[in-house]
Amino acid sequence: MTRVSSWGRLSDAPHSVVPITSAAAAPAVLRATAPGIARGMERSYGDVALNAGGTLWDTRSMNRLVSFDTVTGILTVEPGVLLRDIQATFSRQGWMLAVTPGTEAVTVAGAIANDVHGKNHATMGTFADHVTSLTLVRTDGEIVECGPDGDGESRGWFEATCGGLGLTGLIVQASIRLKRVPGPWLLAEDIPYQSLSEFFELSDSSEASFEHVVSWIDITTGGGRRGIVSRANSIPSPHRDLPASATVLGAARGGITFPVVPPVSLVNSLTLPLLNRAYYRLKRAGAGAKVVHYKPFFYPLDAIGDWNRAYGPQGFYQYQCVLPRENGLEGVREILAIVARSSQGSFLGVLKTLGEREPIGMLSFARPGVNLTIDFPNLGQSTLSLLSSLDSVVAAHGGRLYLAKDARMPVSLFEAGYPRIEEFVTYRDPGISSEMSRRLLGS
């Protein structure tokens, strides 16, 4: 048995880790070791890919790039290929992932199973919008080929699997459509704002001319009274047609690693306002145009290895919600007021708007609205009580929580936020089970 934690480090339970090294070997391994759940890079924050005391199927050694069509941009890969490897391999050839989350240390299968989104949802949607076909192996040995353009049954399997938390079968191959880009560089700009109303004005105006738009928000101010909007577009060269004031920032080399787990969280009621104030001042001082490599813009935290250790031995919760746009300003203001009164949270508050498109997956998170993300050190019951208060706001405004980040949402909020759950259940593989599926689905 091997002890396995998710990125939130809320548990460290033993698992039986079973390697699967090829698609051909998968049916026999699944039949012999089910029930289980697929293991990726353990970047989900909660219990979506945990199975304490049970089986984890490790497909990370299935990491071959199978084929690439230089005309269509369709890349076929095995499930364990990392987004990092796709970006590094193709960015200098004029191709990149159309959608990428905030870390590139994610497998393709994990990106599909959680239907990740990025800073360009308004223009490019979610990861599933760029998946063209999937091959699944079920625990009874059945092989399912599915895609967005197939017949009704094929389309159903596809919609259940994209965002389906690994519960419909083991992905053994996927084809995704890459996006043409002029190179690995972006022309980016940071703009300070002083209120939530100003954020919405900046975000809306930015989406008209920038592909990537996201905001850091100071969660300690009680109602979102300051933050930084960051926006960017791809450009062909770091030295061509630049504003006179623009600086050039390359990819970080080497980075640093958080060396140990401190005895207590370094993010606490004493450091929280100081960290937020310092970060705001740093970003405000550097506001303006700059040319950046894609790595520091898309994946700033990847430059700090094991940064999740900073929250101490009890780990942390990430709370990520989306609220309908018509309720967004009021709901975000209510949440931030509750968080500020609690003196809990972190300096990693993220606020962004999501585009006017419904997700493909039956359990996909990203929907039209306003997305707010906040980390909370695990302080036991006080943190759980705080998160329950936030649940009430999300429920009252018709929102939902992101399953890839969740470790404790009540069943009632899950069912209210994901109305296609009954349809999804018909595609469940009975031989696949996780701590999350048992908590929210009963098996």
Output helix, strand, coil percentages for the chain, rounded to the nearest 5. Answer: 30, 25, 45
Most confident of 270-284, 346-360, 382-396: 382-396
pLDDT at 297: 95
CB 18 within 8 A of CB 55: yes
Tens digits of per-residue pLDDT, 399-433? Answer: 999 999 999 999 999 999 999 999 999 999 999 99
Tens digits of per-residue pLDDT, 329-338? Answer: 999 999 999 9
Sheet with 13-19, edge to edge strand ranges: 2-4, 13-19, 55-58, 36-39
Q: Is 440 exposed, middle or buried (0-12, 13-18, 19+ CB in 10 A)?
A: buried
Torsion of CA 340, 346, 347, 350, to 10 degrees: -80
Rg, Å, the chain Cα set:
21
Q: Is 312 helix (H, G, I), strand (E, B) or coil?
A: coil
- pLDDT > 70? residue 248: no
pLDDT at 256: 85
CA-based end-to-end distance of the chain: 22
From residue 326, alpha-carbon distances to 258, 349, 366 in Å are: 40, 21, 16
Q: Does domain 65-181 have CATH number 3.90.550.10?
A: no
291: part of which helix (H) or strand (E)?
strand 288-293
- Dihedral of alpha carbons 219, 224, 227, 232, sign: positive
How far apart CA 436 and CA 443 sit, in angstroms, is 9
How far apart CA 38 and CA 52 sit, in angstroms, is 13
Contacting residues for 376 by C-beta, under 8 A, at least 6 apart: 316, 317, 318, 319, 344, 345, 346, 383, 386, 387
How far apart CA 292 and CA 51 sit, in angstroms, is 40
pLDDT at 14: 98
Phi, psi of 30, rounded to the nearest 5 degrees: -65, -45
Domains of the chain by residue range: 2-58, 65-181, 188-417
Percent of the chain predicted with pLDDT > 90: 89
Calculate mean pLDDT across residues 107-125: 98
Tokens of 45: 């924050």
CB 199 within 8 A of CB 229: yes
How far apart CA 175 and CA 108 sit, in angstroms, is 10
Tens digits of per-residue pLDDT, 254-309? Answer: 678 999 999 999 999 899 999 999 989 988 998 888 999 999 999 999 999 999 99
pLDDT at 225: 85
- Dihedral of alpha carbons 280, 282, 285, 287, sign: negative
Q: Is 34 helix (H, G, I), strand (E, B) or coil?
A: coil
Banded model confidence at residue 253, pLDDT cuts 50, 70, 90: low
Most confident of 151-155, 167-171, 236-240: 167-171
CATH code for the domain defined by 188-417: 3.30.70.2520
pLDDT at 222: 76
Tokens of 32: 């012999």
- pLDDT > 90? residue 151: no
Residue position matching structure tokens 């909007």 = 229
Give the residue among 281, 288, 179, 277 at the shortest CA–CA distance from 230.
Answer: 288
